[in-house]
Amino acid sequence: MEDSRGLKLLTLQRRESSLFWDSKLEISVKCHNFLYMNFIKEHYMQKTAKKETLFSRDFILTSLSTFTLFASFYFLLITLPIYIQKIGGTESEIGLIIGVFTISAVALRPFIGQEVDRRGRKIILIVGLLVFLISMLLYDYTKSVTSLLLLRVLHGVGWGAATTAATTLIADIAPPNRRGEAMGVFGMASNVAMAIGPALSMILLQAYDFSILFSIGAGIALLSLLLALPISETMVVHPETPLFSTEALFPSALMFTVSLTYGSIVSFLSLFAQKQGIVNPGIFFTVFAVTLILVRALAGKLSDIKGRKYVIIPGMVLISASLWVLSTASGLEKFLAAALLYGLGFGLVHPSLMAYLVDTVSDKGRGAAMGTFTAAFDLGIGAGSIILGLVLQYYGFRVMYTLGGLIVLTGAIVLIASNGKASRRM
């Protein structure tokens, strides 16, 4: 009897022990699942995301194609105003011819952005590069201000299509958590071209003539087209896409204030440098571009970590300061100091603003957003060329560059006053 009672007690104890360990195991499993879902998985995903490479085949090809496109563009940056003077153009006509290039791009960029979403990135890139190449081949046949003005309209169309499509391709390719860094690295393609193109074009012009210069520029444009041919399409097309992106308006407005000052530099710096006795104004763009190359990728990465706003605002202040230095320049030292400051500021602002833009829009509206943003960039250059060109004609170089600095400083103040709610990283 006692043995039977003891056996029952032992069985009950074992059952209670089993239930106790089962509950312990269940708690352990739940704790493991909680830790995995909330900490370990997040850490693993972040670690995996960090390993996502920027340098895919398409990223490299798009960057190389963009580099050669910009190299061809920069061949005309400081030589075209000299060519316009040679065929009898005035200072205001120089501003108009430089400005109409960007105005034609601005007029079409919203439509281009829409077509990039509707038809795909690659086809618009190829068409844009082809139009750009044809335009470069025709420069040697323009012997009047009127014919050059018409050619610049066509050239601007090709430029607008190619740059909008290429930038959208990079936005598609970039890992989301490395978006600022990707924009910075991609932007280095144009910066390296800027470091080489203007100075090299002046050397070639001094040794040869405009016919050779235009031919080399066309050859580089052809290389850009050939590099773009193997690029893969990155996205399924979206037949119903907007013409404009309202989400892109704020970053685009900020970019406008910056590119307005850039327009005054690309249009009139070569004339300002000659007035100051500086033989090769291309050195400004070399210093500017080298500084950009050193700053851009780090600035983009910093905006990924710290937030876009905390990189953009100091950059805009530096741009304003650089224009004040340029307005007081009377020799090479201040000329180069202005180039350095402008490069630092632009290198901070541009990739961070582009990353901010991509943060705010959906994938299917990315082409339209890039069209809006790049239209604002081009519109600023065009406005800087034409409006500040009129300021130059009536008030001189120093007033023109001082006014440009005040405009971009106003943009920085507006950003400081905003809360940046459009972007979680702002």
Q: By the 8 A CB rule, do 328 and 202 touch?
A: no
Q: Does residue 405 have a pLDDT over 70?
A: yes
Q: Report yes or no on 4 lying in a domain.
A: no
CA atoms within 13 A on the CB side of 103: 17
Q: Tell me: the pLDDT tens digits for 2-37?
A: 555 554 554 555 555 554 445 544 545 444 454 444
- The pLDDT value recorded for residue 69 is 96
Q: Tell me: the pLDDT tens digits for 175-219?
A: 777 777 788 788 788 878 877 888 888 888 888 888 899 999 999
From 277, 223, 327, 304, select the one nearest 46 (Cα to Cα): 304
Q: Compute the mean pLDDT over every residue in the chain, rounded to the nearest whole number.
A: 80
The number of distinct structural domains making up the chain is 1
Q: Report yes or no on 290 lying in a domain.
A: yes
DSSP 141: G
**pLDDT category of residue 222 using cuts at 50, 70 and 90:** very high
Q: Does residue 364 have a pLDDT over 90?
A: no
Q: By the 8 A CB rule, do 84 and 76 touch?
A: no
The length of the chain is 426
Angstrom distance (rounded) from CA 65 to CA 229: 9
Q: Does residue 353 have a pLDDT over 80?
A: yes
**pLDDT category of residue 341 using cuts at 50, 70 and 90:** very high
Q: By the 8 A CB rule, do 71 and 230 touch?
A: no
Q: Does residue 151 have a pLDDT over 80?
A: yes
SS3 call for 89: coil
Domain residues for the domain of 111 are 54-230+244-417
CA angle, residues 313, 319, 321, in degrees to nearest 5: 105
DSSP secondary structure string for all residues of 125-189: HHHHHHHHHHHHHHGGG--SHHHHHHHHHHHHHHHHHHHHHHHHHHHHHS-GGGHHHHHHHHHHH
Q: By the 8 A CB rule, do 342 and 409 touch?
A: no
Q: Which residue has the higher pLDDT, 86 or 418?
A: 86
Q: Report yes or no on 423 lying in a domain.
A: no
Q: By the 8 A CB rule, do 134 and 80 touch?
A: no
Alpha helices (H) along 174-281: 179-207, 210-228, 249-275
- The pLDDT value recorded for residue 273 is 85
DSSP 87: T
**pLDDT category of residue 43 using cuts at 50, 70 and 90:** very low
Q: Report yes or no on 164 lying in a domain.
A: yes
Q: Which residue has the higher pLDDT, 271 or 137?
A: 137
Q: What is the CATH number of the domain that holds 197?
A: 1.20.1250.20
SS3 call for 168: helix
Average pLDDT over residues 356-366: 75
Q: Report yes or no on 236 lying in a domain.
A: no
Angstrom distance (rounded) from CA 207 to CA 116: 41
Q: Report yes or no on 239 lying in a domain.
A: no
- What does the block give as tokens for 253? 């407005």
**pLDDT category of residue 374 using cuts at 50, 70 and 90:** confident
**pLDDT category of residue 422 using cuts at 50, 70 and 90:** very low
Which residue in this structure is represented by tokens 């280095």? 188
Which residue in this structure is represented by tokens 């509707």? 118
CB-based burial, 208-232: b 16+ in 10 Å, e otherwise? eebeebbebbbebbbbbbebbeebe
CB contact set of 255 (below 8 Å; sequence gap of 6+) = 349, 350, 353, 373, 376, 377, 380
Q: Does residue 221 have a pLDDT over 90?
A: yes
Angstrom distance (rounded) from CA 94 to CA 81: 6
What is the longest distance spanned by two Cα atoms in the chain? 125
- The pLDDT value recorded for residue 361 is 76
Q: Does residue 138 have a pLDDT over 90?
A: yes
Q: Tell me: the pLDDT tens digits for 240-249?
A: 666 666 777 8
Q: By the 8 A CB rule, do 272 and 156 touch?
A: no
Average pLDDT over residues 124-132: 95
Q: Report yes or no on 48 lying in a domain.
A: no
Q: Report yes or no on 84 lying in a domain.
A: yes
- The pLDDT value recorded for residue 129 is 97
Angstrom distance (rounded) from CA 364 to CA 413: 32
Q: Which residue has the higher pLDDT, 319 or 192?
A: 319
